[in-house]
Structure 1
Amino acid sequence: MNDTSIYNECLELATRVEGLKNRIAQRREEKDKISHLNAVLSSIRDVSRLIIKEKDPQSLIQGICSSLIEKRSFHNAWIVLVDEHGRVTTGSEAGLGADFQKILQKIENDRMPRCCHMVLSEDRFLVTTNPCRECLNCPVSYMYDGRGSISARLEHDGRIYGILTVSVPIAYSQDPEEHELFKDVADDIAYALHSIDVERDRKRKEVALREARDKLERRVRERTRDLEVLSSRLLNAQEAERKRIAADLHDGIGQCLSAVKFMVETVIQQLDGKVARQAIKSLDALVPLLQESSEEIRNIIMNLRPSILDDLGILATIGWFCRQFTSVYSHIRLTKTIEIEEDQVPETLKIIIFRIVQEAMNNIAKYADAGAVSIYLGKKDNALELRIEDNGRGFSVDRFMTSGSSALAFGLTGMKERAELSGGSFRITSSPGKGTRVEARWGYSCVRSY
């Protein structure tokens, strides 16, 4: 073997060694790339979990920045968020430290770094191979020595939410696979920010709707209370007017009729035996008419405001009313049960109880065609209870109460208002052919002035 052969063999061996070195380097690069891509994919999975879990924008972007560098997929990462007008609202970083504040200050002072300016106003996606040379006005460009950067606009449905920038080895900054993964991450972050905005807007609307509803309910309660006070005053005025008219009838017309009757009877006695009976016959006929008129005036007075209520109380008044009712409607069997003492009935409820009894019994006489009626007034479970029942024809409560067009409906509404305005509850139960039950109940702690 001569020198030439040895040289050729050495040259071939050197070529093979060089090829082997290249393949080893290529394998190492491929291995590093796979490792890097795995780290990126792992970071993306962490980001996806954060997007699902986190509902606060600040916490979300801080968690994303930390996740992107945690698996050594990127050297550093930072996110700046802007509002609809492009003004910075917040920002987060991982791997930059205190220098990140300088970026925020430059943006706020309208001296936006190159990557921010281009991504927010021009290109949605930007790759910077050598930030140290290309981004001279960036306060963190010195940190990118030997690395490139990738920036992407965070945008969804036309709304720009901000910018995401990461630092990567220069070799990967030009990799299409890296670009696609990064774009996917940016799109996912933008969609997450959009979802947070939608949810916040929904909650704001719910709060506004709830506040509007509460305000309306308060106004309705206030107006209802005002109407209740007005109704109470009207009923008070009505009772006062009834009492005044009853007193005027008693002291005026009632006494005049009594005086006239007395004078006619006196004249008849004086003329008796002195003139022919035929001459005073008309005077004899006048006496029963005067008596009947007096009785009618007395009935009107008692219906307007029975003096017995003020003199003897509600129990005596109910007893008197029942006797009057029985004398007029003798075909109706009336049962009265009183299980309470006079002093156990609040003064403010006495006239209300009488009016409900009066209205209910008048309705029974006019409409029920009943053969039996029962009245109960008593104390049960620290509450005063009034109940009137009949076995008459009954009726559809809903139809009558909603129509409000009949005298019966008007009377039922009046009873209900009297009971509820005084702090009680009112219920009427009836159906065709099954009679009617009227119930009013007042808790002693809830009784209001009438």
Structure 2
Amino acid sequence: MNEIELNQIFHTAADGMRVIDRNFNVLRMNKALCHMSGISIERGLGKKCYEVFSGSVCHTAQCPFPMILAGRERIECDVFKLRYDGVKIPCILTATPLSDSDGNVIGIVENFKDISERKAMEEALLSLNSELELRVKKRTQDLEEEILQRKKSEKALKISEKKLRRLSSELLDRQERERQHIANELHDVLGRSLTAIKYSVESIVKNMYENGDSIYTKKLNNVLMLIKNAGQEVREISVNLRPSILDDLGILATISWFCREFNKTYPEFYIQRNITVQEDDIPDPIKIVVFRLLQEAMNNSVKHCQCNKIQIDLKKSDNKLSLTIQDNGNGFDLSEQLSSNKGPDKRFGLISMQERVELSGGVFNIKSSDIGTIISVEWL
């Protein structure tokens, strides 16, 4: 290959190239380097290398020239070079030794690959990553704040729900105590008074009958009947408020009594009882809940479900007390009955039953279909 061909290859190379002697003088430079540096070949030849295309490693320990002279075969590094107009150009500098025919190093050959586009992309990517990190950090902070606020809200809600449950429980307790007080007053005071009036009227009727005063005897007999009816109504109201048998004999006796009274009123109903617990198996606070559930559920069956059979199961296993009340009626739409649009008198007392159970520490479940309704409650 002759000198002309070598010179053509040198000047048509895509990368900038130059040859420097041991005294740092530029011996040759190609057209690509002229374009990169902004200096013509005529102005560049004979100049010092650091005057033509100076850079960040010139006059430093990282300068490749001393390292090549010291025996290094090849040096490659990223550098910034300064154009004639002051613009910095990022390059990959590759330096190799230039030797004579005897193998003596007489200079170096430098190759400059312009990586401006790559650097621009790297900087853009770094900027994008930095912006993304800032956004992620900001979003993370926002999420942490949201989570913190949510936890605070949930904690406040739990405290509020706990207070509400405590107040509801206290309200039910007070209601039961008031029911018991009123029932006792009705039974002991009003019932006693009506009984005294009845005996007095009966005595008057007897005396008048013996004296032949039949006209007033008949009228007083009517009064006596009204008094008897009033006494019976007072007893029924007292029982409905709070049956004294519950406090005197316990829940098991109360269930038996209630079922008998229920059958007296609704003789067409068949009541099946499967009770396998002892009185001591049922804690005192739960006894009134069991009675109210039984009372409400059986009255619902009569009023709304068109059934003729009710089954009651009360048992305890694995320290779990369970109550199940089941009828064979036509059922009802649960979602409709539990709708907030319905008034309390239209919901069959389902909400009050559920609240009573949950406030007593139990779990309330109800299923209803066209073959019957099942209310099941469990206490651990």
State the TM-score, normalized to the length of structure 1. Answer: 0.61
Match of 1:345 in 2: 282
Alignment of 1:108-257 (within 5 A): 129-131=54-56, 149-150=79-80, 169=93, 177-257=114-194
The 3-state SS of whatever aligns with 1:420 is helix
Q: Distance in 2 between matches of 1:166 and 1:150?
A: 4
Match of 1:75 in 2: none
Give the one of 234, 238, 248 matched to 1:301. Answer: 238
Deviation at 1:272, TM superposition (A): 3.9
CA deviation string 1:27-55 (max 9, x = no partner): 9x99998xxxxxxxxxxxxxxxxxxxxxx
Point out where structure 1 has 5 or more consecutive residues left out of the alignment: 1-15, 34-127, 134-140, 152-164, 444-450
Q: Which one has the bigger helix percentage?
A: 1
CA deviation string 1:113-157 (max 9, x = no partner): xxxxxxxxxxxxxxx934589xxxxxxx95665799539xxxxxx
CA deviation string 1:290-335 (max 9, x = no partner): 2221111001000001111100011111111111110001111111
Match of 1:419 in 2: 357
Indicate if the aligned counterparts of 2:15 and 2:113 stay in contact, CA closer than 8 A: no
Q: Distance in 2 between matches of 1:434 and 1:282?
A: 53
Change (3 A) 1:234 1:404: farther
CA deviation string 1:177-221 (max 9, x = no partner): 322222222222222223333333333333222222222222222
Give the one of 311, 316, 331 matched to 2:253. Answer: 316
Root-mean-square deviation (CA, aligned residues, Å) is 3.4
Q: Distance in 2 between matches of 1:206 and 1:434?
A: 50
Indicate if the aligned counterparts of 2:92 and 2:112 stay in contact, CA closer than 8 A: no
- Larger mean Cα displacement after TM superposition, 203-212 or 225-234: 203-212
Indicate if the aligned counterparts of 2:296 and 2:349 stay in contact, CA closer than 8 A: yes
Q: Distance in 2 between matches of 1:236 and 1:373?
A: 29
Q: Distance in 1 between matches of 2:78 and 2:291?
A: 95
Indicate if the aligned counterparts of 2:274 and 2:312 stay in contact, CA closer than 8 A: yes
- From the CA coordinates, give the structure whose radius of gyration is larger: 2
The 3-state SS of whatever aligns with 1:215 is helix
Q: Distance in 2 between matches of 1:436 and 1:229?
A: 30
Q: Distance in 2 between matches of 1:198 and 1:253?
A: 78
CA deviation string 1:226-257 (max 9, x = no partner): 21112112111211111111122122211110
Change (3 A) 1:280 1:30: closer
CA deviation string 1:342-368 (max 9, x = no partner): 000011101111111111111112111
Indicate if the aligned counterparts of 1:129 and 1:148 stay in contact, CA closer than 8 A: no
Indicate if the aligned counterparts of 1:334 and 1:373 stay in contact, CA closer than 8 A: yes
Task: Please tell me whether residue 404 in structure 1 is matched to residue 364 in structure 2.
Answer: no
Match of 1:379 in 2: 316
Task: Please tell me whether residue 430 in structure 1 is matched to residue 352 in structure 2.
Answer: no
Match of 1:85 in 2: none
Match of 1:393 in 2: 330
2:222 alignment partner AA: A
Task: Please tell me whether residue 335 in structure 1 is matched to residue 272 in structure 2.
Answer: yes
The 3-state SS of whatever aligns with 2:212 is coil
The 3-state SS of whatever aligns with 2:264 is helix
- Larger mean Cα displacement after TM superposition, 212-221 or 307-316: 212-221
Change (3 A) 1:227 1:404: farther
Deviation at 1:168, TM superposition (A): 6.2
The 3-state SS of whatever aligns with 2:117 is helix
State the TM-score, normalized to the length of structure 2. Answer: 0.72
2:376 alignment partner AA: E
Q: Distance in 1 between matches of 2:376 and 2:78?
A: 86
Q: Distance in 2 between matches of 1:280 and 1:374?
A: 49
Q: Distance in 1 between matches of 2:133 and 2:206?
A: 105
Match of 1:289 in 2: 226
Point out where structure 2 has 5 or more consecutive residues left out of the alignment: 18-52, 65-76, 82-88, 96-108
